[in-house]
Amino acid sequence: MNLFLLKPEETQQQRLTLALDDARAHHLISIKRVAPGDQVEVGVLGGNIGSAEVIAISKKQIEIELGAFDRKPPTGLSDVQLIVGVARPQIMKRVFYSAAMLGVGELIVTGADRSEASYFQSKLFSKEQFIKYLFEGMEQAMSTQIPRVRTFSKFHHLLREAPYAASSSKLLADTSGEVSLANGMSSHELNAACSVAIGPEGGWQVTEIKALNDAGFVSFNMGERILRVDTAAVAALAQLSLLIGAA
């Protein structure tokens, strides 16, 4: 945890007291081993970053004094929409974490022919436990912007709603794609407002690839190696960050 995230309502008073069963307080004391007088980095969800001072620690609580929130958080890939074919919950936890860490603006999880519909019944989705992993990614990257999350249980629901329609650039990770992002697309062809689609663990079906191509997605490959979903997402987003930054 590089950033201590606060809800806006927690910043209404200059001093904030947290019980030790609060995960944030536990991390500060047990992991970072803070002591009275120490400074910690804090951020307001959807807002700025600032500093706070640890005032007191007891057996039941920790008290911190908030300073000014006068720094902007890193922007990341706030205009990028990441579309992922749903994978096993353990894999998806890393996808949520990485998407938030890299600052993706929106994460869309869709069903696909080669993914299990039951994955959406896991607590990660049914209980919205994915929020925990979004927060962890934000805390790692010192970001205060939480990605929007949308789910489509069926691939044809994704096509029907077309949440990617407004994106200036639409990219589809496809091992059969003839071009790479770096060599096949110049920086002026990419726009910060873009969508990138990563298939499920079994990959996209040919019919799904065609449907996305027909919707305007350009297929690209990331080399000969077949990457795991979470790794492919990070690799694609890292390349996008470099190329968009060079535009």
pLDDT tens-digit readout, 147-161: 999 999 999 999 999
CA 121, CA 127: separation in Å to the nearest integer? 9
Q: Answer for the pair 42, 4: CB distance below 8 angstroms, yes or no.
A: yes
Per-residue pLDDT for 190 more than 90?
no
Question: What is the share, in percent, of the chain residues with pLDDT greater than 90?
Answer: 84
Per-residue pLDDT for 121 more than 70?
yes
Q: Work out the pLDDT band at 189, boundaries 50, 70, 90.
A: low
Q: What is the pTM of this model?
A: 0.93
The gap from C-alpha 103 to its chain's centroid, in whole angstroms, comes to 6
Per-residue pLDDT for 247 more than 50?
no
Res 246: pLDDT: 42
Hey, what amino acid is at 76? G
CA 134, CA 118: separation in Å to the nearest integer? 22
5: left (phi over 0), alpha (psi -120 to 50) or beta: beta
The SS3 of residue 118 is: helix
pLDDT tens-digit readout, 8-49: 999 999 999 999 999 999 999 999 999 999 999 999 999 999
Q: What is the mean pLDDT of the chain?
A: 93
Per-residue pLDDT for 1 more than 90?
no
CA 219, CA 195: separation in Å to the nearest integer? 12
CA 108, CA 242: separation in Å to the nearest integer? 22
CA 198, CA 99: separation in Å to the nearest integer? 12
* 181: Cβ contacts below 8 Å, ≥ 6 apart: 171, 190, 220, 222, 236, 239, 240, 243
Question: What is the share, in percent, of the chain residues with pLDDT greater than 70?
Answer: 96
The region of weakest confidence among 98-107, 141-150, 189-198 is 189-198
Structural domains in the chain plus CATH codes: 4-66 (2.40.240.20), 81-245 (3.40.1280.10)
Per-residue pLDDT for 195 more than 80?
yes
Q: Average the pLDDT over 214-219 and give the result.
A: 95
